[in-house]
Amino acid sequence: MNSFLRSMRSLFAIATLFVGFAIVGCDNKETLLDVETPDGGVEVERSLDTGEITVDVDE
């Protein structure tokens, strides 16, 4: 009986993790430009869902 409860708890934990990852999902983005320099860098990404363009500048 103890091993049954342990395996059911493990199955519940795995299912909970799977559902959590499915809800969070991934960013659906495309990198248009990624420039690295000694002083910093620039990354330009476009969202494939909305078409929104984001620019990140590292200094």
Residues 8-50: tens digit of each pLDDT: 888 999 998 888 777 776 778 899 999 998 889 999 999 888 8
Q: Tell me, what's the pLDDT at 44? A: 94
The first and second tokens of residue 27, run together, are: 């960013």
pLDDT surpasses 70 at 1: no
| Residue linked to tokens 């476009």 | 46
- CB 33, CB 43: distance < 8 Å: yes
Q: How many residues does the chain have?
A: 59
> Which pTM does this prediction carry?
0.54
